[in-house]
């Protein structure tokens, strides 16, 4: 059994951990009580979703809550999934610190994309805890910073996103033992390691860190199969909001030549419009900031970090059989020469944690077991 506690953003809230396998969700405002959201509109399907989108939508729904809000100083909205053997609590800061794994989502995503997989990991590794964050401009982090009028520090870039995660870990007094980044999140993870080692003598990490990079490469080599994120971002920025329905967004995207799967996926990033009519929807993210973040992703070159990596770092890449990226032979050899390992995941597109979670878990599990033996 696992416990999941949801915390929301910057001057955000914390809640007591729920009962086994429960999820506690609290508002960032201390005066607002947590409440269950199970309205028919939340559950209604307006279009026929693919299996991948159904899985994503299931994890996107607000969770039950029952606890009053408390303030924390975390700059990012986050969720903490703890295995059954973890005794530590964020609220009381009691008990031994468990090993911590951080999950980082991709561009145009949110922390809840990876929630189901994190719960699976917690069941398999019950002594671990798994921290999932909404990166800047995304999800609850963006929603609540917009509501409060808080301004983001620095440029909207891979480096700034990595710094936000580090500051969130510092506010929680967690040191990550594992970093797992999907797509854009993979570069954020690598940038975090680069920042960890800055100023360290002889580039030695304070503690060993294992990085898992899920279906992305250190440079930019997006294959022309499916919807390119840059094209998606540029197009949706031209659309007027709010949307009358999810179907309205799907029709707009598919009418412009985007795939039905990509269009359905984008509907997971909608929320009830604040000032719209009943049933109207708006984005949960800041599209202008995301545009800058993706430009930074394309420009950020992390080969130098990998080729002069700090001591104490281990890096594993997962390459999907139907990857969104071009894995050139010279790049594969270059990665192997850095000491990194590359794992091939069969029967999977870019969405590795949705398409083939069982095999992905089997690939990653030995690294957690190895860490447990070294403790």
The percent of the chain in helix, strand and coil, each rounded to the nearest 5, is 40, 20, 45
Per-residue model confidence (pLDDT) at position 220: 67
* pLDDT above 50 (res 83): yes
Indicate the average pLDDT of the chain.
80
Determine phi and psi for 261, rounding to 5 degrees.
-65, -45
**Average pLDDT score over residue span 31-57:** 34
Per-residue model confidence (pLDDT) at position 12: 35
Least confident residue range of 189-203, 222-236, 288-302, 326-340: 189-203
Q: pLDDT higher for 93 or 192?
A: 192
Per-residue model confidence (pLDDT) at position 154: 85
Least confident residue range of 28-37, 112-121, 266-275, 343-352: 28-37
Structure tokens at 16: 């007591």
**pTM for the structure as a whole:** 0.82
Q: What is the pLDDT of residues 328-358, one digit of tens each?
A: 898 999 999 999 999 999 999 999 999 999 9
**Average pLDDT score over residue span 85-93:** 85
The end-to-end CA distance of the chain, in Å, is 23
**Average pLDDT score over residue span 241-269:** 94
Q: How far apart are CA 240 and CA 26, in angstroms?
A: 31
Per-residue model confidence (pLDDT) at position 345: 97
Eight-class DSSP state of 241: S
Per-residue model confidence (pLDDT) at position 223: 66
CA atoms within 13 A on the CB side of 55: 16
- Rounded to whole angstroms, the maximal C-alpha distance in the chain is 59
Give percent of the chain with pLDDT exceeding 90. 55
Peptide bond into 242 cis (omega under 30): yes
- By C-alpha distance, which of 363, 359, 365 is closest to 124? 365
Are 62 and 25 within 8 A, CB to CB?
Answer: yes
Q: How far apart are CA 267 and CA 261, in angstroms?
A: 10
Q: In 127-214, where does DSSP find H-type helix?
A: 139-148, 158-172, 184-197
Beta pairing class for 78-82 and 129-133: antiparallel
Per-residue model confidence (pLDDT) at position 89: 86
- To the nearest 10°, report the CA torsion of 287, 215, 164, 199: -140
Q: Which of 16-25, 62-71, 243-252 has the highest mean pLDDT?
A: 243-252
Per-residue model confidence (pLDDT) at position 151: 73
Q: What is the pLDDT of residues 199-214, one digit of tens each?
A: 555 567 778 899 999 9
Per-residue model confidence (pLDDT) at position 197: 74
Can you tell me whether residue 36 is helix, strand or coil? coil
| Residue 338: Cβ-neighbour burial (10 angstroms; 0-12, 13-18, 19+) | middle
* pLDDT above 80 (res 16): no
Eight-class DSSP state of 274: S
Please give, one letter per residue, the 3-state secondary structure of 93-146: CECCCCCEEEEECCCCCCHHHHHHHHHHHHHHCCCCEEEEECCCCCHHHHHHHH
Sign of CA dihedral 254, 258, 264, 267: negative
3-223+290-374 is a CATH 3.40.50.1820 domain: yes
* pLDDT above 70 (res 17): no
* pLDDT above 50 (res 30): no
- By C-alpha distance, which of 345, 112, 51 is closest to 213? 345
Q: How far apart are CA 113 and CA 354, in angstroms?
A: 9
Per-residue model confidence (pLDDT) at position 3: 61
Which residues face 271 on adjacent strands?
A: 282
In total, the chain counts a number of residues equal to 375
* pLDDT above 60 (res 43): no
Give percent of the chain with pLDDT exceeding 70. 77
Beta pairing class for 281-283 and 270-272: antiparallel
* pLDDT above 70 (res 227): yes
In the structure, what pLDDT confidence band is assigned to residue 319 with cuts at 50, 70 and 90? very high
Per-residue model confidence (pLDDT) at position 67: 24
Sign of CA dihedral 170, 82, 315, 186: negative
Least confident residue range of 41-50, 173-182, 193-202, 333-342: 41-50
Domain extent listing, the chain: 3-223+290-374
């Amino acid at each position: 059994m696992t416990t999941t506690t949801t915390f929301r953003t910057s001057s955000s809230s914390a809640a007591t951990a729920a009962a086994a396998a429960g999820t506690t969700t609290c508002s960032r405002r201390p005066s607002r009580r947590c409440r269950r959201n199970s309205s028919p509109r939340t559950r209604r399907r307006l279009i026929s979703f693919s299996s991948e989108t159904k899985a994503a939508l299931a994890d996107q729904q607000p969770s039950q809550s029952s606890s009053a809000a408390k303030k924390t100083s975390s700059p990012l909205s986050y969720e903490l999934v703890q295995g059954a053997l973890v005794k530590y609590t964020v609220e009381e800061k009691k008990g031994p610190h468990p090993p911590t794994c951080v999950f980082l989502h991709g561009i145009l995503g949110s922390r809840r994309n990876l929630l189901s997989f994190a719960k699976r990991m917690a069941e398999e590794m019950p002594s671990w805890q798994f921290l999932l964050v909404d990166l800047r401009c995304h999800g609850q982090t963006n929603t609540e910073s917009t509501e409060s009028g808080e301004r983001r520090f620095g440029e909207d870039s891979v480096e700034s996103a990595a710094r936000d995660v580090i500051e969130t870990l510092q506010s929680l007094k967690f040191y990550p033992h594992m970093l797992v980044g999907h797509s854009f999140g993979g570069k954020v993870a690598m940038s975090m390691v680069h920042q960890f080692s800055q100023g360290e003598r002889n580039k030695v990490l304070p503690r060993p860190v294992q990085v898992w990079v899920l279906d992305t490469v250190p440079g930019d080599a997006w294959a022309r199969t499916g919807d390119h994120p840059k094209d998606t971002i540029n197009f949706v920025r031209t659309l007027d909001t709010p949307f009358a329905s999810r179907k309205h967004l799907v029709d707009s995207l598919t009418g412009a030549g985007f795939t039905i799967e990509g269009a359905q996926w984008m509907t997971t990033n909608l929320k009830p419009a604040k000032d719209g009519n009943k049933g109207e929807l708006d984005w949960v993210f800041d599209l202008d900031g995301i545009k800058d973040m993706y430009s930074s992703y394309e420009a950020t070159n992390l080969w130098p970090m990998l080729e002069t990596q700090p001591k104490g770092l281990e890096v594993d890449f997962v390459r999907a059989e139907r990857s969104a990226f071009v894995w050139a032979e010279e790049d594969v050899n270059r990665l192997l020469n850095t000491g990194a390992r590359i794992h091939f995941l069969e029967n999977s597109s870019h969405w590795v944690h949705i398409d083939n979670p069982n095999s992905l878990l089997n690939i990653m599990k030995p690294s957690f077991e190895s860490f447990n033996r070294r403790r």
